[in-house]
Amino acid sequence: MTTPPAEPGTAPRAPRSVIVTGAASGIGRAAALAFAAQGDRVLAADVHAEGAQETVRMITAAGGVALAAVGDLGEQRVVDALVARAVDEFGGIDVLVNNAGIMDRMSAAHETDDAEWERVLRIDLTAPFLLTRAVLPHMLAAGTGCLVFTGSEAGLRGGAAGAAYTAAKHGITGLVKNLAVMYRGQGIRTNMIAPGPTATGISVDSRPDAHGPALIGRLVGANIGRLGSAAEQAAAIVWLASDAASFVNGAILPVDDGWSAV
């Protein structure tokens, strides 16, 4: 896999160092493949070793450069090791895609136990914060960088998921806007896609007799369009990290077939 040719009259773009979390499957894998296809070096991070390594195999088989990093990004030591490896192997970090996440059980607040709340918030909100905090010193030193988050329609509305997931994704939306303001003067852009229902491996272990899933199911079923693909979500991520989006900062981009417009 080689760097695509530059447009006539322009210099070819140097390969970038890209971290993609949740890269073992779904949107994360599609994003990792898309970045690699344009010549970027990718560190594919996931808690699932086999899936992350398969993503790397797919990239390297096509001639690209990729490494797998395995671990729970809710743990600071794992985050520190991942960032250090990206810097050591690739010389820096140009793009961070905070994509990894899990669903809740669509539970309403009165049905949400401590374990569900804490697990979803730790993986969907705390882990992206920890990784972002760890890469920022490297981007600040370089004077440039792109942060792209995979949010959700649940970060824009109250009727797309349970209490824990909705709170976590609203938290991501706020974090993205804060980062955009805090670091725009240092050459760092921060944006977020808000996917609608997308064909990925993420699962929902809901109880059909519970209040939350029954209500959310009716709301979602009445308003969504078609099911999106992981590749469509990845294309939006790659664009937000590209020079074509150089003046886009703090954007929350719904990729949802118009669901957010309903």
Nearest partner of 43 among 30, 56, 60, judged by Cα: 56
Of 26, 34, 231, 24, give the one whose Cα is nearest residue 16: 34
With b for 16 or more beta-carbon neighbours within 10 A and e for fewer, the 204-228 pattern comes to eebeeebebbeebeeebeebbeeeb
> Residue 17 and residue 89: Cα distance in Å, rounded?
9
Q: Which domains does the chain have, with CATH numbers?
A: 17-261 (3.40.50.720)
Per-residue pLDDT band at 216 (split at 50, 70, 90): confident
pTM, full prediction: 0.92
With CA atoms as reference, report the closest residue to 241 among 64, 80, 12, 19. Answer: 19
Residue 64: band (very low, low, confident or very high) from pLDDT cuts 50, 70, 90: very high
Report the C-alpha gap between 188 and 177 in whole angstroms.
Answer: 12
**Token code pair at residue 146:** 């792109």
Range from 9-13, 29-33, 132-136 carrying the lowest mean pLDDT: 9-13
| pLDDT at residue 220, rounded to an integer | 74
pLDDT per residue as tens digits for the range 119-148: 999 999 999 999 999 999 999 999 999 999
The pLDDT of residue 10 is 53
User: Regarding predicted confidence, which is higher, 217 or 57?
Assistant: 57
- Residues 57-65 have a mean pLDDT of 98
* Residue 111 pLDDT class (50, 70, 90 cuts): very high
What percentage of the chain has pLDDT greater than the value 70? 92
Residue 175 banded pLDDT, cuts 50, 70, 90: very high
Please indicate whether residue 205 or residue 183 has the higher confidence score (pLDDT).
183
The chain-wide mean pLDDT, for the chain, equals 92
Active site residues: 165
